[in-house]
Amino acid sequence: MIVESLVLAVHVLVAVALIGFVLLQHGKGADMGAAFGSGSSGSLFGAAGSANFLSRTTAILATVFFVSSLGLTYLAANRTAPKDLMQQGATQKAAEPAAKDAAIPPPAAAPAAVPSPTPAAAGATPTKAGEVPK
């Protein structure tokens, strides 16, 4: 239980960090502006350093995220129920009737058979044997 909570906490923290690092990265269109001297000269990691640092960190975080996902899956698949509940379920007996003399009510009477409507009563014309009704 403690291991599962620890892996879950690492999983959530890595997910948040991964989202942050992906959002910090520049798109492919941002490199075009750097070629003409705009923006990247004043960056924290230099012109090429940020791409290397951010992409490597993102790859490491993605790997940790996938490993923690597999770990959570393994822990959830091998989770066992507490032994008390399992033993209670296996040894539980059905409740016995309160009194053996208790009268069992008779089953309800079946409804009287309802005759099927005759063709004349249904508004159809009577047909002879072998004829198809119209």
pLDDT tens for each residue of 70-108: 999 999 999 876 665 555 555 555 566 565 555 666 667
Note whether residue 118 is domain-resident. Answer: no
pLDDT band at 121 (very low <50, low <70, confident <90, very high): low
**CA-to-CA separations, 117 to 51, 53, 124, 126, in angstroms, rounded:** 86, 87, 11, 12
Crossing angle (nearest 10°) for helices 49-77 and 2-24: 150
User: Is residue 10 classed exposed, middle or buried when 0-12, 13-18 and 19+ CB atoms within 10 A define those classes?
Assistant: middle
Report the pLDDT value the prediction gives residue 56, as an integer from 0 to 100: 92
Residue 106 lies in a domain: no
Is 45 within the bounds of a domain?
Answer: no
Residue 54 counted as domain residue: yes
117 in any annotated domain: no
Distance CA 113, CA 8 (A): 66
Q: How does residue 69 score in pLDDT terms, banded at 50, 70 and 90?
A: very high
pTM comes to 0.48
- Report whether pLDDT(111) > 80: no
Report yes or no on 123 lying in a domain. no
Is residue 32 over pLDDT 70? no
At residue 52, the pLDDT reads: 86
* 125 CB-near residues (< 8 Å, 6+ apart): 119, 133, 134
C-alpha–C-alpha distance, residues 134 and 125, integer Å: 9
Instruction: Supply the mean pLDDT for the chain.
Output: 74
Q: Would you say 48 and 106 are in contact if contact means Cβ atoms under 8 Å apart?
A: no
The residue segments making up the domain with residue 54 are 1-28+50-79
- The type of residue at 46 is G
How many domains, the chain?
A: 1
Do the domain assignments include residue 111?
A: no
**121 domain-assigned:** no
Q: How confident is the model at residue 110 (pLDDT cuts 50, 70, 90)?
A: low
